[in-house]
Structures are given as structure tokens and as C-alpha cells.
């Protein structure tokens, strides 16, 4: 296995949450509309808002890795929805599906692109750098989701979580 293949494997493990924490898909799998929109006093966002924000930036970075030039937001606040909850269960589930599909796409790109190549529309950055950024950004916010679930008495998910 080449050095890039070893790095790609480690990157994929980070993207899905293997080894470092509970896999992202498992941590989100049973969150329903009500839990997704639940707010906690002193916490500025709900799980729905966190997943929306994570999906926004994941899609933005994936577009760059694919060689596209997504429109840069004027302000980071554009990546956060104002409403605490999705309008309905179907929309919430679609957001989850889109987000998890984005992780699958990131893993596929980690296996197929030249990770050391510079990005056409993101000077000074590489595919590896943005894919690593996706992994760390998602991990950071997944920790917040786990805390919100704990505060709601909704942890661990079915099948367990570590630490329980």
C-alpha cells in the first residue's frame, strides 16, 4: 500500500468517525423531528441547526474538492438556519440523508483523488486539507450533538454509544 493509500484509509476512518468516536451515522440514526428541534437554555442551537450547519460546510468543501467553485457566503451566519426545527419529519430525514451521503462522497473522494493536489478555486489548499477539515468540523459538532442528546436524556442511541 502506498503512503497516499495509507493516508486515505486514515482519512476515511476520520470522516466516518471510526476509532476516534462513535460513527456519525450511528449517533444520528434515531434522532426524530422533536429531538432534532429541542432547545436547551444557554445553548445557541438545536441538533437540527447543527446538522444543517455541518451539511452546509461539508457540501461547500466537497464542491471545492470536486473542482467546482461554490459561492462563498457573505457571512458565516448564512450557514446556520434561523429556525430551531425542520418544518417536518420528511425534510429532517432528507437533511440527514443528504449529510450522510456527503460523508460517503467525501470517503469516495479520499480514495480516488490526488490528495496532495492543489485546488483550482481554493488557493493554498489541497484535497487532503479540505477532507481533513470536513472530518474535524463534523467531529467537533458531533460532540455538541452528543451533549445535547445527553441533556435531553436521549443517549446512547440504539446499539449503544461509547462512552455510554
Report the pLDDT value the prediction gives residue 164, as an integer from 0 to 100.
Answer: 54
Taking the C-alpha atoms of residue 87 and residue 78, their distance in angstroms, rounded to an integer, is: 18
What per-residue confidence (pLDDT) applies to 21? 84
What does the mean pLDDT of the chain come to?
Answer: 95
Q: What is the largest distance, in Å, between two alpha-carbon atoms of the chain?
A: 50
Q: pTM score, two decimals? A: 0.95
**Contact status, residue 27 vs residue 18, Cβ threshold 8 Å:** no
Mean pLDDT score, 15-21 = 86
Q: Report how far apart the first and last C-alpha atoms of the chain are (Å, whole number).
A: 36
SS in 3 state form for the chain? CCHHHHHHHHHHHHHHCCCCCCCHHHHHCCCCHHHHHCCCCCCCCCHHHHHHHHHHHHHHHHHHHCCCCCCCCCCHHHHCCCCCCCCCHHHHHHHHHHHHHHHHHHHHHHHHCCCCCEECCEEEEEHHHHHHHHHHHHHHHHHHHHHHHHHCCCCCCCCCCCCC
Measured between alpha carbons, how far is 127 from 64 in angstroms, rounded to an integer?
8
Nine cell digits for residue 48? 437540527
Q: In this model, does residue 163 exceed pLDDT 80?
A: no
Domains in the chain, CATH or no CATH each? 3-151 (1.20.120.450)
Which residue, among 39, 122, 42, 41, has the nearest Cα to 81 in the 3D structure?
A: 39
Task: Please write the tens of the pLDDT for every residue from 125-143.
Answer: 999 999 999 999 999 999 9
- Residue 161: pLDDT band with limits 50, 70, 90: confident
* Residue 14 clears pLDDT 80, i.e. is over it: yes
Q: What is the pLDDT of residues 38-63, one digit of tens each?
A: 999 999 999 999 999 999 999 999 99
Residue-wise pLDDT tens digits, 69-113: 999 999 999 999 999 999 999 999 999 999 999 999 999 999 999
Amino acid at each position: 500500500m502506498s503512503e497516499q493509500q495509507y493516508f486515505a484509509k486514515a482519512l476515511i476512518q476520520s470522516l466516518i468517525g471510526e476509532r476516534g468516536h462513535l460513527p456519525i451515522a450511528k449517533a444520528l440514526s434515531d434522532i426524530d423531528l422533536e429531538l432534532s428541534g429541542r432547545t436547551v437554555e444557554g445553548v445557541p442551537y438545536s441538533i437540527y441547526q447543527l446538522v444543517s450547519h455541518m451539511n452546509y460546510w461539508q457540501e461547500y468543501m466537497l464542491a471545492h474538492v470536486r473542482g467546482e467553485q461554490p459561492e462563498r457566503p457573505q457571512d458565516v451566519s448564512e450557514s446556520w438556519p434561523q429556525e430551531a426545527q425542520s418544518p417536518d419529519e420528511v425534510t429532517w430525514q432528507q437533511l440527514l440523508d443528504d449529510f450522510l451521503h456527503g460523508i460517503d462522497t467525501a470517503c469516495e473522494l479520499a480514495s480516488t483523488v490526488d490528495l496532495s493536489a492543489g485546488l483550482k478555486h481554493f488557493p493554498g489548499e489541497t484535497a487532503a486539507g479540505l477532507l481533513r477539515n470536513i472530518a474535524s468540523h463534523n467531529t467537533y459538532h458531533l460532540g455538541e450533538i452528543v451533549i445535547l442528546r445527553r441533556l435531553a436524556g436521549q443517549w446512547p442511541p440504539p446499539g449503544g454509544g461509547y462512552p455510554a
